[in-house]
Every structure is written in C-alpha cells, then in structure tokens.
C-alpha cells in the first residue's frame, strides 16, 4: 500500500481536542501542534512547547479547533450506479428484505459494478471519497462485495487502493465477497462460499486484502457459512469483522468475538451474551446510524449494555448506494447523537479513537507525540459543534501524514 508523502509543520494558537485521556475531550487552549516527517512531535500548550520545535517550520498562527483526523471504519464507497428508486419504494412501504428478494438491493449494484470498467468505477467513486475527506476523514475503510466473482471483487479492491494513492489518505481494504448470493449460484450458497474461500488467498497474495468481512443474516449467509470464511481468513493471518445482527439475532457478534474480530457492525439485535463476548475479546461495536436513519428502523442497538460492559463504540457512515447514501462522517456523528443518544464526546471518540481500533490501527485517533500527523483544523470554537451543525463545511484544513489534502 502506498502511503502519502510526509510533511513538517507547526500550528500555534488553536484549541486542541487531543482525546488523549480515557474520558473528556482533552482540551488545550492556546495550543501548539508540531509535526516532523508526518509524525506529531508535540501537542500541548504553546507556553510550554520546547524551543526546538519552533525550528521545524515557519509557524502558522491560527484560531479554531484541532481534532485528530476522522476515521471512517465502515464504508462501501466503491460502487457504480445508485438505488434512488429503491429509496422511493421503501418510502412507499416496501421493506429492505422485500426489495432484496425481488432482485433489488445488493444484486442491483452488483450488476452495475460488473458492467463498469476499472477506470469507470474509479471515476464514479472519487467524488464520494473527496466529500468524505472534505468533511474531515483522513483514514477510510472500503469493502468489496459488489463484484461477487473473482475478477470483479479484484477490480473493486484495486480501485480502493487507487483511491488512497490518488487522494493521499490511508485506505484499508476489506474483502466482503460473502455479501450476497449472486444469481449464478442461486440455491447453491455453500458452493459460493467455497468460491469465496478459494479467491481469498489469491487476492491476499496481490496485497489487496487487509481484513475479511461477511454479511451474517437471514438474507445473507448463515453463521456456519460465515465461520468457514473466518477460518479461511485466520489461516492467512487476516483479521475479521462482521455485519452482525442487523435484522435479527443470529449470534453474529458473538461469532465475530470468538475469532477475535476487530469489530461487529450494526448490532441492533445483539443479545447480552453477544455483548459480553465482545467485551471479553476487545471487539469494537461499530454503530451505523445512517442505515438506521434511511431504513427508518426502530430497534436501537443495545447502547446501555455496551456502556455497562465497556465495549468501545465506533461511528461510521456505512456509505453505500442502498441503505446509507451518506457522504459525511460528521453527519453520521450527528445522527448518532440524535438517534442513538450518544454524547458529542462519545460520537467524536467513535469517529477517531475507537474507529482506529476497529481497523486495528494504533498510530492515529489521538493528538499525541509519536502519532501520525492526521488532524483537522475546524472553523469552530468547541467540539460539540461537530455534532450540532447540520450540513455546511466546518473543516478549514484537513491534514494526512502532515500534508494538507483538503
């Protein structure tokens, strides 16, 4: 994976929200942030900054608020076409399952992805990722899962890698071939899982896979089939994550935890036993309020139990053409506060500290010496404004690896 080139710099005067404690924003007024070769070397009060850091680069005096760069840890941002027609059908009363069972849903996007060339797929995806970056995202997870055959899964993963290289951000790729059953395998789900497992080492050998995911659901794949995919991932040393318990409780979160999963995502129907398993394994709960909002769901994730058992909660866009056409992680943070009753602090931690953990990354998500210089200078006065304002651009400058990317 090609990382963006590194930069040096020094900001003086903004308020820093370091998030470098177990709780609270870690606010430092009249702060200083210095970085060298893409790594933070100082994040603290201007008054106590060692003189040596003043020599790194010409200082930039500024106001506003600096936070760690936002991390969108669950997206399907590489796709072709749209499903606005399905959105209209749902508004008229059709359910997600009804649309999927009549050939819509994921399979309609599969047809569009298969029809697109690699370059067409890249050009279609670039504007979405640029929007995410403009609103503060510096690290992005992108899943496959709309190809459902070797060549098209490979095409999606290659495009995801190209997005990171062209736009100067870190893109983590997730293999999600176990997303839906393609038409050519109708009635032969186990045979399709055989193919999914056969493709995985070939794609991993090309450097295209950072993690493995599956859709464990009645309209997706069974726990037994998901287990087979996870065993294949474990044999290659790849971490797993799971679309778990979104529409029903099939024990998906507990299954992800059994494999030491990075995350269990959606989890609206996860049982207390599943939450305890996640707590024991350190598996992150990824909340996806965009899908909850668009699908007009009423079953909330078990938030009180997640807090009680100390399960870290990440927040992500789930950017996808069908159930969460959301192109702003900050908007997902806002939806998480309104729909899921997260505090603004929980929501910001969910899009930074805990999102980094959900991707297995330890070098970002807080402002601290030694961390990557991924951060955002916002034209706001206090962190709660990130969840307060609906729409509009609040990011003045977005930095990845110490260089401005938006």
Binding-site residue set for N-formimidoyl-L-glutamate: 146, 320, 322
Closest CA to 111 of 88, 139, 90, 82: 82
CA-based torsion, 59, 381, 135, 345: positive or negative: positive
Q: Are 319 and 133 in contact (CB under 8 A)?
A: no
**Binding-site annotation: residue ranges for Zn(2+):** 74, 76, 243, 318
- Distance CA(362)–CA(392), nearest Å, equals 31
**Binding-site annotation: residue ranges for Fe(3+):** 74, 76, 243, 318
Say which residue the tokens 């293999």 belong to: 175
Q: Are 69 and 375 in contact (CB under 8 A)?
A: yes
For residue 295 the two structure tokens come to: 């699908």
- Distance CA(390)–CA(107), nearest Å, equals 32
**Binding-site annotation: residue ranges for 4-imidazolone-5-propanoate:** 83, 146, 179, 246, 323
- Distance CA(210)–CA(202), nearest Å, equals 13
CB neighbours (10 Å) of residue 209? 23
Say which residue the tokens 């710099």 belong to: 9
Q: Are 190 and 226 in contact (CB under 8 A)?
A: no
**Binding-site annotation: residue ranges:** 74, 76, 83, 146, 179, 243, 246, 318, 320, 322-323
Closest CA to 179 of 148, 224, 141, 154: 148
């Amino acid at each position: 994976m090609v990382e963006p080139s590194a930069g040096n710099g020094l900001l003086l005067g903004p308020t820093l929200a370091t998030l470098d404690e177990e709780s609270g924003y870690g606010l430092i007024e009249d702060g200083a942030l210095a970085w060298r070769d893409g790594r933070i070397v100082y994040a603290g009060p201007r008054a106590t900054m060692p003189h040596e850091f003043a020599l790194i680069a010409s200082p930039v005096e500024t106001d506003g608020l600096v936070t760690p760069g936002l991390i969108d840890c669950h997206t399907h941002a590489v796709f072709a076409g749209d499903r606005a027609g399905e959105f209209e059908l749902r508004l008229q009363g059709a359910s997600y399952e009804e649309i999927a069972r009549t050939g819509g849903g994921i399979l309609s996007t599969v047809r569009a992805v298969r029809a697109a060339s690699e370059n067409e797929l890249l050009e279609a995806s670039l504007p979405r990722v640029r929007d995410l970056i403009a609103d503060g995202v510096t690290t992005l997870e992108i899943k496959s899962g709309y190809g459902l055959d070797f060549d098209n899964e490979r095409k999606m993963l290659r495009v995801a890698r190209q997005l990171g290289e062209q736009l100067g951000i870190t893109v983590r790729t997730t293999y999600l071939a176990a997303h839906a059953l393609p038409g050519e395998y109708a009635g032969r789900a186990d045979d399709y899982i055989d193919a999914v497992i056969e493709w995985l080492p070939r794609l991993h050998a090309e450097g295209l896979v950072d993690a493995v995911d599956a859709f464990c659901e009645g309209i997706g794949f069974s726990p037994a089939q998901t287990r087979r995919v996870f065993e294949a991932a474990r044999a290659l040393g790849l971490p797993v994550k799971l679309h778990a318990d979104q529409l029903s409780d099939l024990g998906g979160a507990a299954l992800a935890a059994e494999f030491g999963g990075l995350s269990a995502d959606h989890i609206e129907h996860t049982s207390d036993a599943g939450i305890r398993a996640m707590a024991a394994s350190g598996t992150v709960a990824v909340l996806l309020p965009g899908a909850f909002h668009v699908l007009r769901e009423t079953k909330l994730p078990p938030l009180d139990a997640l807090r009680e058992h100390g399960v870290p909660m990440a927040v992500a866009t789930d950017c996808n053409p069908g159930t969460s056409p959301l192109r702003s992680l900050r908007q997902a943070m806002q939806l998480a506060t309104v729909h899921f009753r997260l505090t603004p602090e929980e929501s910001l931690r969910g899009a930074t500290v805990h999102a980094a953990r959900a991707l297995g990354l330890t070098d970002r998500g807080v402002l601290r010496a030694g961390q990557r210089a991924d951060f955002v200078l916002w034209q706001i006065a206090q962190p709660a404004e990130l969840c307060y304002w609906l729409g509009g651009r609040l990011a003045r400058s977005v930095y990845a690896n110490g260089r401005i990317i938006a």
